């Protein structure tokens, strides 16, 4: 059975939310409206002066030149004041708009810190980046255009309508009767373009994710000769984005010419009726007709501008809705107000009947129980997908257990604050992560208050000091994104140094030496051995020769611990561990 199609159109809820967000800028909005009103009133006053000057010249010719010059001076002063009001209005509108952008981007980045890892598992990195950057930029452009033209346009329509009714109600009636047609055309096209702009925004995010993925793994693309396939995939996506953008732009651009056609009909009708009144009954002077035509033109012009603004606002709202979707994502369950703050951790870790799965239909860990004493080195081994890394994720509380419990020093992890729990673990992963910062800043990320001597001691202990000293600026060498030109092994040494500087009471080493050569690995293993003394340690390894000295080896398979013991004991059993171990030495 097919799911019902979601109806797309003008998103009133998003528009209402944008207005609520603008509520924090009431003072700026008030003055912006005030300057917009001043600009409109001055603009509307100029045609009255122009009409008076025309009537004065027709009645008296150039005899009363002083009167004409006085009116011209008033027109000049009004024009200058009008320009000043518009400039001040634009300054305020820019402040409001970019304050909104600053706020939205900050909220989005803060939200990322509170989102569960499951969100990042479900969404491509490029898509999330696109929401925070591209969509916010598009929202800004639409909002700025709306502020700049919508206020003045609406006030101009209202002001010209009042003046035309005062000048000649009959002719004004011609304008009023045709106005709904222009509004209907603009509203119909604007409503129809919202879904097109939302599709364009979603396709742009898809393209950003694709580019991010391929640029980040460009070496792999080259290694497998996947350039043509990558280019074909990009071309297909780029073509699709081009079609989406073209359709959205085409339909939104229909608004201006359609409303302009209707407005030209209004202007022609006013000119015809006014001319007949001037020639026939004389109820309207030439200057009066000039005033009315000016106001008719000013009245219809904002409809063209507002129709263009509405099209841009559709794009802005479509992008805003995607940003709000990110901001509305369910967050991590916050720590309870009375949650325990771990301090002076000894390292007792107990798992009791732990069950966990990423998806409801597929169990990953079932009924896992384990007791770890302080200072024990626990190695976790098993085939790919057996749950080793998942167990680490549960210990760090990146995910909460579905059933059972995990306790540290007798405290259930769900009743412990996350920051204090994670500060109790030092973690080195197979995947390295380094900031675009200096070597010193990357190492001291674990302990910003560390002294120079402590940092150097940690680097020497991890055997990173020698290669750091060979860098252009030593510890002050600026690394590029992801570690720049450093080798994978050097990046991993810096990550190991970071943990050695922190020296937490418990350690997690997930294939921590996977990118280091065998000779260096032996040195690092000795450094780890010294660091692990007196610290509870969990070691995930595929090379079983590296965990022979572990106090306890957990052998996992299909989410369960099927064997447990020391290296020699497990080999003597000739079970699954022995099979895994011996398979590494088969020729």
Residues 499 and 540 in one domain: yes
Question: Which among 188, 190, 186, 189 has a CA at the least distance from the CA of 316?
Answer: 190
- Span 432-453, pLDDT tens digits: 778 888 889 888 887 888 889 9
pLDDT at 104 over 80: yes
Spatial contact of 68 and 53, defined as CB atoms under 8 Å apart: yes
Cα gap 231→381, rounded to integer Å: 40
Which of 36-40, 411-415, 487-491, 519-523 shows the lowest per-residue confidence on average (mean pLDDT)?
Answer: 519-523
Determine the average pLDDT of the residues in 208-225: 71
Q: Which residues of 43-72 are buried (b: 16+ CB within 10 A; e: fewer)?
A: bbbbbbbbbbbbbbbeeeeeeeeeebeebe
pLDDT at 467 over 80: yes
pLDDT at 220 over 80: no
Q: How many residues does the chain have?
A: 587
Q: How confident is the model at residue 580 (pLDDT cuts 50, 70, 90)?
A: confident
Q: Report the domain count for the chain.
A: 2
Residues 117 and 258 in one domain: yes
In-domain check, residue 1: no
pLDDT at 2 over 60: no
Cα gap 546→417, rounded to integer Å: 33
Torsion of Cα atoms, 254 then 260 then 265 then 266, to 10°: 130
Q: Which pLDDT value is given to residue 190?
A: 66
Residues 274 and 354 in one domain: no
Domain final residue, candidates 292, 327, 362: 327
Q: Which pLDDT value is given to residue 334?
A: 82
pLDDT at 216 over 50: yes
For residue 382, what are its two tokens?
Answer: 């098993």
Residues 294 and 422 in one domain: no
Residues 135 and 177 in one domain: yes
Task: Point out which residues pair with 565 in neighbouring strands.
Answer: 553
Q: Which pLDDT value is given to residue 183?
A: 66
- Which helix (H) or strand (E) segment is 174 a member of? helix 169-216
Residues 117 and 234 in one domain: yes
CB atoms within 10 A of CB 359: 7
Q: Which pLDDT value is given to residue 515?
A: 62
Cα gap 54→288, rounded to integer Å: 9
pLDDT at 577 over 50: yes
Q: Which pLDDT value is given to residue 60?
A: 61
Q: How confident is the model at residue 80 (pLDDT cuts 50, 70, 90)?
A: very high
Q: Which pLDDT value is given to residue 84?
A: 93
Determine the average pLDDT of the residues in 545-562: 81
In-domain check, residue 243: yes
Residues 323 and 356 in one domain: no
In-domain check, residue 42: no
Determine the average pLDDT of the residues in 416-435: 83
Which of 44-58, 136-150, 357-371, 512-526 shows the lowest per-residue confidence on average (mean pLDDT)?
Answer: 512-526
Question: Which among 548, 443, 448 has a CA at the least distance from the CA of 496?
Answer: 443
In-domain check, residue 48: no
Average pLDDT of the chain is 79
Q: Which pLDDT value is given to residue 6?
A: 40
| Range(s) of the domain holding residue 397 | 349-583
Determine the average pLDDT of the residues in 63-72: 74
- Span 346-398, pLDDT tens digits: 888 998 888 888 877 777 788 888 888 888 888 888 887 777 888 888 888 88
Q: Which pLDDT value is given to residue 3?
A: 37
Residues 317 and 377 in one domain: no
Determine the average pLDDT of the residues in 474-494: 81
Q: Which pLDDT value is given to residue 564?
A: 85
In-domain check, residue 314: yes
Q: Looking up tokens 């020391």, which residue turns up?
A: 566
Residues 266 and 410 in one domain: no
Residues 423 and 543 in one domain: yes
CATH of the domain at 479: 3.40.50.300
Residues 387 and 315 in one domain: no
pTM metric for this prediction: 0.65
In-domain check, residue 400: yes
Q: Which residue has the higher pLDDT, 257 or 556?
A: 556
Domain final residue, candidates 293, 327, 361: 327
| Cα Rg of the chain, angstroms | 36
Determine the average pLDDT of the residues in 287-294: 73
Q: Which residues contact 248 (CB under 8 A, 6 or more apart)?
A: 193, 196, 197, 199, 200, 315
Q: How confident is the model at residue 5 (pLDDT cuts 50, 70, 90)?
A: very low
Cα gap 87→499, rounded to integer Å: 55
Q: How confident is the model at residue 81 (pLDDT cuts 50, 70, 90)?
A: very high
Q: How confident is the model at residue 7 (pLDDT cuts 50, 70, 90)?
A: very low
For residue 179, what are its two tokens?
Answer: 């106005």
In-domain check, residue 431: yes
Q: How confident is the model at residue 62 (pLDDT cuts 50, 70, 90)?
A: low
Residues 132 and 256 in one domain: yes
Strand order through the sheet with 377-381: 425-428, 506-510, 536-540, 377-381, 552-557, 560-565
In-domain check, residue 87: no
CATH of the domain at 101: 1.20.1560.10
Question: Which among 305, 307, 300 has a CA at the least distance from the CA of 265?
Answer: 300
Task: Point out which residues pair with 378 in neighbouring strands.
Answer: 538, 552
Domain final residue, candidates 271, 297, 327: 327
- Span 298-343, pLDDT tens digits: 777 776 666 667 667 777 888 888 888 888 888 888 888 888 888 8
- Span 313-325, pLDDT tens digits: 777 888 888 888 8
Q: Looking up tokens 């992963």, which residue turns up?
A: 429
Q: What percent of the chain has pLDDT over 70?
A: 86
The Cα-based distances of 489 to 242, 339, 444, 458 in angstroms read 42, 39, 19, 17
């Amino acid at each position: 059975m097919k799911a019902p199609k979601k109806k797309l159109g003008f998103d009133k809820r998003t528009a209402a939310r944008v207005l609520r967000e603008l509520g924090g800028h009431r003072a700026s909005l008030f003055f912006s409206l005030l300057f917009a009103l001043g600009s409109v009133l001055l603009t509307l006053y100029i045609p009255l002066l122009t009409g008076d000057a025309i009537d004065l010249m027709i009645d008296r010719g150039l005899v009363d030149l002083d009167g004409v010059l006085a009116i011209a001076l008033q027109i000049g002063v009004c024009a200058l004041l009008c320009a000043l009001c518009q400039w001040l209005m634009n300054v305020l509108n820019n402040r409001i708009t970019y304050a909104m952008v600053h706020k939205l981007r900050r909220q989005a980045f803060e939200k990322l810190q509170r989102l569960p890892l499951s969100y990042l598992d479900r969404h491509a990195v490029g898509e999330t980046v696109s929401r925070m950057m591209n969509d916010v930029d598009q929202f800004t452009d639409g909002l700025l255009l709306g502020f700049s033209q919508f206020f003045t346009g609406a006030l101009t329509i209202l002001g010209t309508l009042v003046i035309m009714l005062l000048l000649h109600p009959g002719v004004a009636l011609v304008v009023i009767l045709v106005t709904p047609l222009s509004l209907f055309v603009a509203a119909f096209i604007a409503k129809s373009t919202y879904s097109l702009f939302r599709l364009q925004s979603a396709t742009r995010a898809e393209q950003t994710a694709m580019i991010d993925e391929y640029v980040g793994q460009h070496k792999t693309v080259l290694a497998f000769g996947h350039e043509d396939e990558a280019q074909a995939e990009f071309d297909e996506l780029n073509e699709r984005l081009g079609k989406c953008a073209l359709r959205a732009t085409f339909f939104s651009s229909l608004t201006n010419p359609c409303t302009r056609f209707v407005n030209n009909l209004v202007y022609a009708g006013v000119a015809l009726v006014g001319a007949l009144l001037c020639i026939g009954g004389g109820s309207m002077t030439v200057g009066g007709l000039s005033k009315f035509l000016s106001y008719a033109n000013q009245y219809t012009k904002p409809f063209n501008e507002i129709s263009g603004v509405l099209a841009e606002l559709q794009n802005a709202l479509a992008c805003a809705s995607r940003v709000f979707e990110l901001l509305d994502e369910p967050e991590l369950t916050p720590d309870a107000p009375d949650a325990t703050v771990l301090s002076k951790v000894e390292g007792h870790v107990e798992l009791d009947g732990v069950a966990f799965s990423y998806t409801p239909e597929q169990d990953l860990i079932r009924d896992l129980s384990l007791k770890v004493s302080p200072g024990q080195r626990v190695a976790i081994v098993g085939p790919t997908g057996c749950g080793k890394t998942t167990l680490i994720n549960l210990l760090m509380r990146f995910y909460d257990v579905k059933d059972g419990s995990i306790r540290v020093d007798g405290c259930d992890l769900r009743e412990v604050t996350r920051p204090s729990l994670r500060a109790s673990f030092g973690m080195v992963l197979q995947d390295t992560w380094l900031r675009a910062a200096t070597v010193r800043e990357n190492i001291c990320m674990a302990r910003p208050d560390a002294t120079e001597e402590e940092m150097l001691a940690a680097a020497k202990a991890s055997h990173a000091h020698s290669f750091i000293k060979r860098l252009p600026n030593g510890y002050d060498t600026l690394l590029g994104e992801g570690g720049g030109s450093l080798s994978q092994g050097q990046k991993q040494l810096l990550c190991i140094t970071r943990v050695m500087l922190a020296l937490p009471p418990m350690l997690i080493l997930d294939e921590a030496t996977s990118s280091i050569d065998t000779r260096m690995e032996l040195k690092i293993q000795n450094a780890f051995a010294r660091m692990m003394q007196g610290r509870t340690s969990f070691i995930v390894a595929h090379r079983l020769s590296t965990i022979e000295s572990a106090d306890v080896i957990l052998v996992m398979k299909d989410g369960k611990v099927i064997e447990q013991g020391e290296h020699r004991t497990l080999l003597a059993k000739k079970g699954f561990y022995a099979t895994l171990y011996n398979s590494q030495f088969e020729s």
